[in-house]
Amino acid sequence: MHNILKFITIIFLIILTGCISDNEVLPSHQEGIFAKDALLQDFDQLVDIIKSSPPKAFTDMSKFAHVAESQRLKISDMSRYEFYKLLAPVVAAVDCGHTKIKYPVGYLQEERYYFPFAVKVINSELYIFKNSYNTNIPEGSKIHSINNRDSAEIIDILYSSMPSDGSNETRKEFQLNQNFSDYYHNYFEAPEQFRISYTAPGGTDLITEVIEPNKSKFIMEDAPGLDNYFFTENYAVLRVKYFKYMSSKTIDSFFTTLKQNGSTNLILDLRGNPGGFADHANILLSYLMDESFYFYSDDQEGFDHLALEKTVIKENAFKGKLFIMTDGGCFSSTGFVLSHLKNNPNVTIVGQESGGGYKCNGYAVKERLQNTQIALINAQVVGTTSVEGLESGRGVMPDIEVNYTIEDYLLGKDLEFERILEMINSL
């Protein structure tokens, strides 16, 4: 009976989560100024929701309380946009990548000014990667300051406002590299012009220019990677972008062909994979693990079929050398997959620390703050894989770490893939 109740609870959470849309449209409303008392009410509502929700995997409640107290003192009469930025560090202090706030889409923001460049964060420094304007600032330039704020300070402020699991920072770096203009707008400022101080590639002179903003986000293309799958004489490549809507038939067909071809080297590209359904992640593992295994630890609430029943290895499972490409975009269920494969002697992980690890929170529910209608997406369940020896609150570490320079990005290099090919060719 207890298991049935747990199952029903999880199904309810799945249905509820599935009904939550990030694109929910609310009645259109011009931005205005909210009274301090109304904002204090919303602030306290958010803090109370977090305090009364099920414990999360990495939250230090004393740290959370300190940040909340500090931010609460800053509240005055302000716009919804300014209040949103004030709330962000409070939610980030939960140290949960699945817990976040959403600005109500149907409410018009007056501050629709975006940074006009795509950037790359490298060693806590900003570099211009793509230039959306015909300006004199060349791609590859190092940004020293924006509107007289030092780049390192800007990165620190953004990091303190961005949710992530535990002390992991590679996911934040990945997100800024994909969509810096959006995060700068949401968490820092939306000015009517950008005063940018920079040094050009190979130069030493500090140059300052004033640039007009974009009126839309500058979103990078898909994460680097290869086609979904292909085969060569020496290796095969499988790219999994998302553990959702994954076709069991297609995956089985791939591994059947892999076995028929006698391939001994498989490159699995998980870069930028944000996670998805644990069941789908488990399907992939059934072709990659050496022996039957429990996906979740035995103290996992719910998910009885993954915690209490062993996953059986497929007959056409891969038995050769497995090379996995990772980055900070590997989150949630992707971290679960990596945690199971990390200590396998036939597996080599190449890239950066993943954004998620062997433990994370999930199955978030949405609650709206009474006055501003800002939504809190609040994780409810902790998931833990049945592995040992990995650090809580960090992603899965690569066996071979790969770091890019701005020159590598500009040349379109794929350093993880290049490094793996070197290893395969040396076998």
Alpha-carbon distance 289 to 291, whole Å?
6
Q: Are residues 292 and 393 in the same domain?
A: yes
Query: At residue 36, what is the residue type?
Result: K
Q: Which of 324, 350, 367, 379 is nearest to 165 (CA)?
A: 379
Examine the domain organization and report whether 246 and 385 are in the same domain. Answer: yes
Please determine, for residue 220, whether its predicted confidence score (pLDDT) is greater than 70: no
Q: Do residue 152 and residue 260 come from a single domain?
A: no
Question: Is residue 354 assigned to a domain?
Answer: yes
DSSP E strand stretches across 82-227: 100-102, 117-122, 125-131, 142-146, 149-150, 194-199, 207-211
Structural domain including 396 reads: 229-363+381-425
Distance of CA 350 to the CA centre of its chain: 18
Range 254-269 average pLDDT: 96
What average pLDDT does this structure show over 318-346?
A: 97
Let me know whether 283 and 352 are in one domain.
Answer: yes
Question: Residue 45 has what pLDDT?
Answer: 98
**Based on the domain organization, do 60 and 130 belong to the same domain?**
no
Residue 148 lies inside a defined structural domain of this protein:
yes
Total count of domains within the chain: 3
Percent of the chain residues past pLDDT 70, beyond the cut: 86
| pLDDT tier, 218 (very low <50, low <70, confident <90, very high otherwise) | low
- Low-confidence winner among 3-12, 137-146, 284-293, 361-370 (lowest mean pLDDT): 3-12
pLDDT given for residue 109 in this prediction: 53
Q: 411 in a domain, yes or no?
A: yes
**In terms of domains, do 246 and 181 share one?**
no
What pLDDT does 22 receive?
43
Domain assignment present for residue 167? The answer is: yes
Task: From 72, 10, 8, select the one nearest 40 (Cα to Cα).
Answer: 72
Q: Band of the pLDDT at 219, cuts 50, 70, 90?
A: low
Which one, of 149, 131, 141, lies nearest residue 206 by Cα?
141
* Residue 313 and residue 287 in one domain: yes
How large is the average pLDDT for residues 217-229?
61
Asked if residue 283 and residue 420 are part of one domain, the reply reads yes
pLDDT band at 290 (very low <50, low <70, confident <90, very high): very high
173 domain-assigned: yes
Residue at 240 is within a domain = yes
Residue 19, pLDDT > 70, answer: no
Question: Do 141 and 250 reside in the same domain of the chain?
Answer: no
Calculate mean pLDDT across residues 110-134: 86
* CATH number reported for the structural domain that contains residue 391 in this entry: 3.90.226.10
96 and 142 belong to one structural domain:
no
Provide the mean pLDDT of the chain.
Answer: 88
Comparing 40 with 21, the larger pLDDT belongs to 40
- How much is the pLDDT for 363? 85
pLDDT exceeds 90 at position 338 = yes
CA-angle at 141, arms to 136 and 142, nearest 5°: 135
- The SS3 of residue 397 is coil
Query: Is it the case that residue 102 has pLDDT exceeding 70?
Result: yes
Domain assignment of residue 14, yes or no: no
- The answer, yes or no, to whether residue 413 has pLDDT greater than 70, is yes
Is residue 409 situated within a structural domain?
yes
204 shares its domain with 238: no
CATH number for the domain including 144?
Answer: 2.30.42.10
Euclidean distance between the first and final Cα of the chain, in Å?
54
Q: How high is the pLDDT of residue 244?
A: 86
Per-residue pLDDT, averaged over 142-157, amounts to 97
Alpha-carbon distance of 266 to 282, in angstroms, equals 18
pLDDT at 301: 59
Report the pLDDT averaged over residues 288-293: 96
Q: Is the pLDDT of residue 370 over 50?
A: yes
Do 339 and 248 fall into the same domain?
A: yes
